[in-house]
Structure 1
Amino acid sequence: MNQQDQNIRALALAVINVEKQAVEALTEQVNEQFVKACHLMLSCKGRVVVTGMGKSGHIAGKIAATLASTGTPAFFVHPGEASHGDLGMITGQDVVLALSNSGETSEVVTILPIIKRLGVPLIAMTGNPESTLAKLSAAHLNVAVQQEACPLGLAPTASTTAALVMGDALAVSLLETRGFTRDDFALSHPGGSLGKRLLMRVDDLMHRGDEVPAVSQDAWVCDVLLEMTGKKLGMTAVVDVSRKVAGIFTDGDLRRMLEKGQDVHNTRITEVMTSPCAMISEEILAAEAMQIMQQKKINALLVVDERQRLVGALNMHDLLRAGIV
């Protein structure tokens, strides 16, 4: 590594160290004001309206999105646009969370009298407890930093990181206090891999009907192999006359059988099948099925009803194609 590369690395590490110290200092600011801010949001019958200008505005937008996705209805309002009509979005049942590192951002300060006239509780997040915004707030979250990571001391860096972390602390504290669950989270995240992991059930993915390989308990292994080859799931269920599962026979079972020198033409499936075997309900989450497979180190599961009768089959490839893994 040449001198220039070493300098680049040193600069990056210095930035990380400054921002690390800024985040660590926040622990002292999780105080009665923080708790009061949480209570104001918990008692809000409307929405949390988050606002901020410039870089603080970008952080405010992210905080609003995090709140909204974790059980606290919230949205972002640009303070400049608020002075030109968007204040109509704020109702008397809302709470306003305003971000400004200086606490004197003109676009934010300008709309404070209107917020006060509406009787809307104001939560301020600033780096200056003596600022106009802080003094007019019902609760003040102090996110002051000793220095910015920018060597010029100009670009918001450590200060925006501190504000972002404080916003996350609010969101998660509210989430836990509300008793917000994984199912609640899934309802607001139906798209993408996250939604699939949280919402998709075994019933949505499993093979059913004629697609499910199944043989009777008196079948010869040679006949079982034809069933497995035809259905292409790498296994077959072994069932009794009522379709109740007696066991499973997999590619792994076949390998172990051949290693022992057993004859596929003269061996009944009940002699070499795995019994008891792992079975699941079609109503459980696909992500849970994946965890079962990983814990048991298997690649397929039989899906059964409440009487343990075969209704379907699921393998790891199904989970991979659905984006669950």
Structure 2
Amino acid sequence: MIRAVARDVLGQEAAALTVLADDLPAAFGPAVEAILAAPGRVIVAGLGKSGHVGRKIAATLASTGTPADFLHAAEAAHGDMGMIVPGDVALLISRSGETAELAPILYYVTRFDIPLIAISQVPDSTLMRAADHRLVLPDLPEACPIGMAPTTSTTMTLALGDALAMALLDARGFRAEDFRTYHPGGKLGAQLRTAGELMHGGDATPVVGPGANMDDVLLTMTARGFGLAALTDVDGRLTGVVTDGDLRRNMAGLMERRPADIASRDPVTVAPSCLAPEALALMNARKVGAVVVVEDGRPVGVLHLHDLLRAGVA
């Protein structure tokens, strides 16, 4: 019985999202354009479950390149209305479109000519009549067994907010590099760091120039401790990499050989801009513990597996 209720709720909500996707509100495009044209922020407001969903929508917008804040509808009439200023866009959420606490905000945005986007299931409600852009949700029953708790409606609202945020992200040309700026902490921040941020560069880079002998290679590998040495030509360009494995495979007469004779001519390298998870996947695929970071053909650092582990990538 418990699992049957769960399946029914999820099925109803999934079906509602399909209906919403197949019949996206006509005002969706103009609403996105209004936000893109605004020099200020998106101020999201709602009450109750709509408020909780609104807070998440504001957070998603802010983290994907669209400045946004959440305004608690009940606090707005007690001084917080000052959060909304000319240049902003208001996004108000109410399933019924008649939430009393939104009335002062409606009056305020109308008085100061703040563009208003509204999300509601009732197209002829007070909120929707006042809105410049009306995002009407399909009039579908809640998935609650008694038909009362906001479930289907809040799921559709949340999904529509995600759709707005992603449409804005795409229109702004928002990139992974931009996303990293807003997510520097935690696991996600680690996943968005680059090889250039985590590598050992400068004097720590194990580089030996043209004319170096095996003594130079061994001393460099021992001093730097990464298990490899990058060979370069007179222009500083990478010509090969000698690894611990190369040394072991060529022990016979090793010291009489030239570094270039045992070096890999096609070593594993990454660019400084390579994302840490991509570097980790490459290292796992090639079964190496470190890679040379190369820019414009020249070695600029070394990225070790331990660097990725310390950063929380793996």
TM-score under structure 1 normalisation?
0.83
Q: In the TM superposition, what are the counterparts of 1:1-325 in structure 2 within 5 Å?
A: 7-198=1-192, 200=194, 202=196, 204-209=198-203, 212=206, 214=208, 219-220=213-214, 224=217, 227-239=220-232, 244-254=237-247, 256-257=249-250, 262-264=252-254, 267-280=257-270, 283-287=272-276, 289-290=279-280, 293=283, 298-304=288-294, 306=296, 308=298, 310-325=299-314
Shift in Å at residue 187 of structure 1?
A: 2.8
Q: Which runs of 5+ in 1 are unaligned?
A: 1-6
Shift in Å at residue 50 of structure 1?
A: 0.5
Q: Do the aligned residues in 1 keep the contact of 2:123 with 2:136 (CA within 8 Å)?
A: yes
- Counterparts of 1:266 and 1:323, CA distance in 2: 42
Shift in Å at residue 233 of structure 1?
A: 1.4
- Residues 289, 90 of structure 1: alpha-carbon distance in 2 compared, 3 angstrom cutoff: same
Deviations, residues 43-98 of structure 1 (Å, cap 9, x unaligned): 21222111000111010011111111222221110111011111122123221111
SS of the residue 1:111 aligns to = helix
Q: Do the aligned residues in 1 keep the contact of 2:293 with 2:301 (CA within 8 Å)?
A: yes
The letter of the residue matching 2:242 is F
- Residues 177, 25 of structure 1: alpha-carbon distance in 2 compared, 3 angstrom cutoff: same
- Counterparts of 2:243 and 2:40, CA distance in 1: 56
- Counterparts of 1:163 and 1:61, CA distance in 2: 12
- Residues 292, 144 of structure 1: alpha-carbon distance in 2 compared, 3 angstrom cutoff: same
- Counterparts of 2:238 and 2:110, CA distance in 1: 68
- Counterparts of 1:101 and 1:61, CA distance in 2: 15
Moved more, 237-246 or 45-54: 237-246
Q: Do the aligned residues in 1 keep the contact of 2:209 with 2:236 (CA within 8 Å)?
A: no
Deviations, residues 254-302 of structure 1 (Å, cap 9, x unaligned): 45547xxx45455443322101434455x53453655654665543222
- Residues 103, 280 of structure 1: alpha-carbon distance in 2 compared, 3 angstrom cutoff: same
Q: Do the aligned residues in 1 keep the contact of 2:199 with 2:301 (CA within 8 Å)?
A: no
Q: CA RMSD in A?
A: 3.0
TM-score under structure 2 normalisation?
0.85
The letter of the residue matching 2:154 is T
The letter of the residue matching 1:237 is A
Q: Which runs of 5+ in 2 are unaligned?
A: none
- Counterparts of 1:37 and 1:240, CA distance in 2: 57
The letter of the residue matching 1:316 is L
Q: Percent same amino acid at aligned positions?
A: 42
SS of the residue 2:174 aligns to = coil
- Counterparts of 1:306 and 1:22, CA distance in 2: 52
SS of the residue 2:134 aligns to = strand
The letter of the residue matching 2:123 is P
SS of the residue 2:303 aligns to = strand
